[in-house]
Amino acid sequence: MEEKISKEEVKKIAKLSKIALGEEDIEEVSKDLNRILEYIEMLDEVDVKGVEPVYQSIKLENVMEEDIARDSLPIKEVLDLANKKDLVHIQVKGVFDE
């Protein structure tokens, strides 16, 4: 089996996803992802000439709701809910922070 996703890439993905994986887990996830990619490659061999693409299996409709202006929460109430703040700002943990 050709390795398409390395253990280093699994570690990076886990870090970005904020998922804690031990070395044993990294090995297992790497093998699983490589098996999945191998299966997807098999699907590339299927002859689909003349087959119309299917974008959804059931009919979906957009459900639109009227846009109604509403009062927002008072700043003091919002700031009282925040862990880190100054007079008018809320500080949150960055999504991509290490």
Residues 21, 10 contacting (CB under 8 angstroms): yes
Of 14, 5, 12, residue with least CA distance to 34: 5
**Cβ neighbours for 90, distance < 8 A, ≥ 6 positions apart:** 78, 79, 82, 84
Is 70 a member of any domain? no
Is 82 a member of any domain? no
The band of 11, judged by pLDDT with boundaries at 50, 70 and 90, is very high
Residues 28, 3 contacting (CB under 8 angstroms): no
Is 18 a member of any domain? yes
Using one digit for the tens of pLDDT, what is the confidence trace for 22-74? Answer: 999 999 999 999 999 999 999 889 999 999 888 888 888 888 999 999 999 89
Question: Number of folded domains in the chain?
Answer: 1
Residues 42, 49 contacting (CB under 8 angstroms): no
Name the residue range of residue 11's domain.
7-43
